[in-house]
Chain A
Amino acid sequence: MSRPVTLSNVRLVGGVVAARAIARLIRTLGRGGGTSAPGLVAEWIDPAMLTRLTSRLPHGSIVVAGTNGKTTTSRMIADVLTAHGHKVVHNRSGSNLVRGVVSAFAAQASLTGNPGGDVAVIETDEAAFPEIVRLVRPRLVLLNNLFRDQLDRYGELDTIARTWKTSLASLGEETTVLFNADDPGLTAITRDLAAATIAFGLCERKHTLQLLPHAADAATCYACSADLHYSRIYVSHLGEWQCPSCGVKRPDLDVVGRDVELAGVESLAMTIDQHGESDRYEIGVPGLYNAYNTLAAVAATRHAGVPHETVRTALESFRSAFGRIERVSYRGRKLTLALVKNPVGFNEVLRMLTAATGALTVPTLIAINDLHADGRDVSWLWDVDFELLARGDGMLGATGLRGADMANRLKYAGVAEDRIRSFPTGLAAGLDAFVNQIPDGEQAYILPTYTAMLEIRKTLADRGAVETFWQQ
């Protein structure tokens, strides 16, 4: 059934061939996952390659965007679609700029320009979202949330919301936009679209916050600028909101998540109502933020026509994406790694780690780098509520290029100075010095930023503790 090589295919094929060759070369040379350099070459050879490949997918593309949770959510969706018998094209390694998406397609496409699957799941970076939407013309757009992230990379939140709004307005009625209605900002930019919209959100009594956390954004009304009132707050500025001044409120939900049960750093369960059905889901990822990811993935895959039994079974065996939450045994110690990349995500990780006792009792190493992919500005550490850690007696270590800033942040959060340890900034040395402080057989937490996570994971992999991610 392979497509004949026609003249119009020649440039496309050239791009695919070049990208695949380079991906192989880079992997052979061991320079990393080889996840975005080939895309750069493919783009240079044929910028329209992505459009042509995605237009050949019989079931179209699902684009997943949002500050937090997009990697986990898109992995869940891809797993469910695969379980349903689809052959999925997915930028699974998390390279979510245009280049990374092109790479993923180049790696999977046949040399004749066949996309190598029947449906695509595309995770996109906030900044790349408009360009990806323009190139891909997705069948379904999933918007998880919009939080303050690394502002030196993405520009201010207002700016992202504006570019997203313009991009969404360009979609026609053949596209469906599935959005988190607990986010007032997403609700604002999904109003009056030509595309169909589906609202999802939580109706949850147990897991609420008393106050909007400091890192919360967009707590003002999009219609009249008054401060919004929340009857329930779930994560950051996500919740049941309404405007006390003009009456605008969270839209009616098409898909509702409720009765969330959180089991520490292990798993969660929740009930999801849609199309008049209620189903209970159990899933091997922890924390309320993953309840949102589960809700989004269920809504997306049910919309794509997957029966709920298949969704439920596929999600039951789901485990988190690399580095998001991982448990590793290293030199007899039980290490739990959780990626931290912005204030909201960090707050949710702290909330999860302290949920059982209200304090952090397990020794914890925080690894902060300031390379491009981490955000070069470490100011965001001051937007995280480390004050939560002032209680408890666990050791808090700091390492990484900006470990000293982290130690200082802990001091000003009111953590007793004898609990704060500064480890070497080099991550391999920092990791070992920290692990030396943990008794054999005991557990510890490691909370790295993105590049720190890559390096720690590589250190662990080199010593046989975990597999490297591109071999998954």
Chain B
Amino acid sequence: MTTERVVTIAWLYGSKMNIYGDRGNVLALAQRARWRGIEPHVVVVGIGEAIPPESDIFFFGGGQDQEQIAVSHDLTGAKGAAIKTSVEDGAALLSICGGYQLLGHEYRPHDAEPLPGIGLFDIESEAGTERFIGNVVIDSQWGTLVGFENHSGLTFLGETATPMGTVQVGRGNNGQDRTGGAIYENAIGCYLHGSLLPKNPKLADWLLSAGLQYRSGEGDLDPLNDEIEQTAHASALQRAFATR
């Protein structure tokens, strides 16, 4: 006799912040739960909508400039605070690109007012002059992570921030210090599209496990056959080194 296991994925601004195939991350979390008999609930949280209290895992993708401004305004106040509190209590979170930037202290565009972030990560971002486009490989606690970056924003880690890993191929946070992404509690932010989670299944399962642990105190996951995922991972690594 086991109780039904459920995991709730809150997809922040899913209709606006969804460029570069970032929904693959939500698909990966949902499918990897479903294949283990865990029922995924995906809730898209739009502008003006409150954070559902049952959120176990947050996903926050990238968007275009116009959308990023609207989202930044929406996050100030209670909504940003609710996300921060959940993460500090143990909820899992993955943010990519624009979403990652807005979870830092602020983002400074070239010719406009700075966009305030919620300060979950001790990072600051600013518009750069070069666009970093290409495959990325990062060494991390989950082994190699492989994805594709496409950003002109530069992110710098503050004193209390921990990088997600070290850049082996690509530019990472800022193209200068070889740091890639940031990690705080069970929250991760980085510039890796690709989509990231489907071909980095260890990271996907780490987030899933953290979310379940937060919900029920029970984060164990049955193993899955990841042959197709591992092949995709290996081939992406090979292309990253071949095109570096």
Question: Which residues of A approach B to under 8 Å, CB–CB?
Answer: 148, 151-152, 156-158, 214, 225, 227, 370, 376-383, 401-405, 407-409, 411-414, 417, 420, 422, 425
Contact = CB atoms under 8 A, between A and B. Distances in A.
A422 B232 CA distance: 11
Interface string B33-74: 000000000000000000000000000000011100010000
B20 interface: yes
Given A158-B64, A409-B198, A412-B198, A404 B133 contact: no
Query: Number of contact residues on B: which range applies?
Result: 20 to 34
Interface stretch (B21-29, B76-84, B117-125, B210-218): B21-29
A425 B239 CA distance: 12
B21 A379 contact: yes
Which one of A383, A402, A417 has the greatest number of beta carbons of chain B within 10 Å?
A: A383
Given A148-B19, A407-B228, A379 B194 contact: yes
B229 A408 contact: yes
Contacts of A401: 235, 239
B66 A383 contact: no
Interface of B: 15, 18-24, 27-28, 31, 64-66, 70, 133-135, 148, 150, 193-195, 198-199, 228-229, 231-232, 234-236, 239, 243
B19 A151 contact: yes
A425 B15 CA distance: 34
Contacts of A403: 235
Given A158-B66, A404-B236, A407-B232, A376 B133 contact: yes
B232 A377 contact: no
21 contacts: A158-B65, A158-B66, A214-B18, A225-B66, A227-B15, A377-B148, A377-B193, A378-B194, A379-B193, A380-B20, A382-B22, A382-B23, A382-B198, A402-B236, A403-B235, A404-B236, A405-B232, A405-B236, A408-B229, A412-B27, A417-B228
Given A376-B133, A376-B134, A377-B193, A408 B21 contact: no
Nearest to B235: A404
Interface of A is mostly: helix
The 8 closest A-B pairs by CB, nearest first: A382-B21, A382-B24, A379-B21, A404-B235, A408-B232, A404-B232, A379-B193, A379-B20
Contacts of B232: 404-405, 407-408
A158 B64 CA distance: 7
Nearest to A225: B70
A156 B20 CA distance: 10
B235 A402 contact: yes
A393 to B, nearest CB: 19
A225 B194 CA distance: 29
A408 B198 contact: yes
